Amino acid sequence: MRRLFVAGNWKMNTTAAVGSALASALAVEVSKSQPAVDVAVCPPSPYLSTIKAVLGTSPIYLGAQNAYFAAPGAFTGEVGLDMLVDVGCQCVILGHSERRAIFGETDELINKKVAATLQKELGVILCIGELLADRQGNKTEAVLETQLTGGLAGIDAAAMKHIVLAYEPVWAIGTGVTATPQQAQDTHKFIRNWLEKRYNAEVAAATRIQYGGSVTPETAAELLSQPDVDGALVGGASLKADKFIPIIQAAAAVKKSA
Ligand code: PEP
């Protein structure tokens, strides 16, 4: 049975004070209820240390939203993996569609980041997802296949236990349009079948695939109940404790057969 994993991507939002208040509310709730799901928050990099301190001994993981693959050196403006380890991060979001679209990240670059992140023994949340035009043109599977093949090039089956995939249809991110539970399930099933072909049945069965794209407390339960949906990567709704906590609770309440 895969343990559900709910992660909050704060993107370029919050201040130290706002992020601390949010993290504190989440830490209280998650420590109190010890939900049977994994929970992570991914604040902007300047606040990682602050939020780490606020999370304290709570079981909430700390994630970064990006990292550069190279060893420390002359890379002005970048954040290195050693730094993320140093401030207590446990995982890194890589390949988010905003990094791809706004900052021109290619599958090749993302792959270098994935490999370097694993070398530092950090977990990876690797985002993949198609544009609206891809879905309308029946190209979703081809796009995902390209992103998976490129992003996971050279990553072996043993390393896959440190990787979570996040299926995030770009047309659903920040738009208020959520994929239907059936669309999410069908696409997650496609991704799981791809994992079986590329790796083996064990990797396919064990790899967690989060859904991301306008998840809200209202839509979470049905999406997370789909057999191949193993959690959520949440943007906007992760910025408010009264929206993110019900999503965590919805995940904790999901019952799936093995
Ligand atoms: C995201 O940024 O990963 C995301 C899913 O955002 P939202 O939930 O706001 O659509």
Q: Is the CB of 228 within 6 Å of ligand 1?
A: no
Q: Evaluate if residue 257 carries a pLDDT over 80.
A: no
Q: Taking residues 176-183, what's their average pLDDT?
A: 96
Residue 107: beta bridge partners? none
3-state secondary structure the chain: CCCCEEEEECCCCCCHHHHHHHHHHHHHHHHHHCCCCEEEEECCHHHHHHHHHHHCCCCCEEEECCCECCCCCCCCCCCEHHHHHHCCCCEEEECCHHHHHHHCCCHHHHHHHHHHHHHCCCEEEEEECCCHHHHHCCCHHHHHHHHHHHHCCCCCCHHHHHEEEEECCHHHCCCCCCCCHHHHHHHHHHHHHHHHHHCCHHHHHHCCEEEECCCCHHHHHHHHCCCCCCEEEECHHHCCHHHHHHHHHHHHHCCCCC
Which residue's C-alpha comes closest to atom 8 of ligand 1?
Answer: 235
Q: Evaluate if residue 258 carries a pLDDT over 90.
A: no
Q: Give the pLDDT confidence score for residue 1 in this predicted structure.
A: 85
User: Per the residue annotation, which of 29, 96, 105, 188 is the catalytic one?
Assistant: 96
Mutate which of 233, 240, 243 for ligand 1? The one with the most ligand atoms within 8 Å of its CB, which is: 233
Which residue's C-alpha comes closest to atom 4 of ligand 1?
Answer: 235
Distance between Cα 29 and ligand 1 center (Å): 22
- What are 134-158's pLDDT values in tens digits? 999 999 999 999 999 999 999 999 9
Mutate which of 168, 170, 239 for ligand 1? The one with the most ligand atoms within 8 Å of its CB, which is: 168
Mean pLDDT value across the chain: 97
Would you place residue 84 in the very low, low, confident or very high pLDDT band (cuts 50, 70, 90)? very high
Structure tokens at 184: 């999410």
**Ligand 1 atom closest to residue 234's alpha carbon, by position in its atom list:** 8
Q: Is the CB of 56 within 6 Å of ligand 1?
A: no
> What pTM does this model have?
0.97
- What are 22-76's pLDDT values in tens digits? 999 999 999 887 778 999 999 999 999 999 999 999 999 999 999 999 999 999 9
Which residue's C-alpha comes closest to atom 2 of ligand 1?
Answer: 235
Q: Evaluate if residue 205 carries a pLDDT over 70.
A: yes
Q: Taking residues 237-253, what's their average pLDDT?
A: 97
Which residue's C-alpha comes closest to atom 1 of ligand 1?
Answer: 235
Q: Evaluate if residue 82 carries a pLDDT over 80.
A: yes
Superfamily of domain 5-257: Aldolase class I (3.20.20.70)
Q: Taking residues 207-220, what's their average pLDDT?
A: 98
Q: Is the CB of 169 within 6 Å of ligand 1?
A: no
Sketch the domain layout of the chain as residue ranges: 5-257
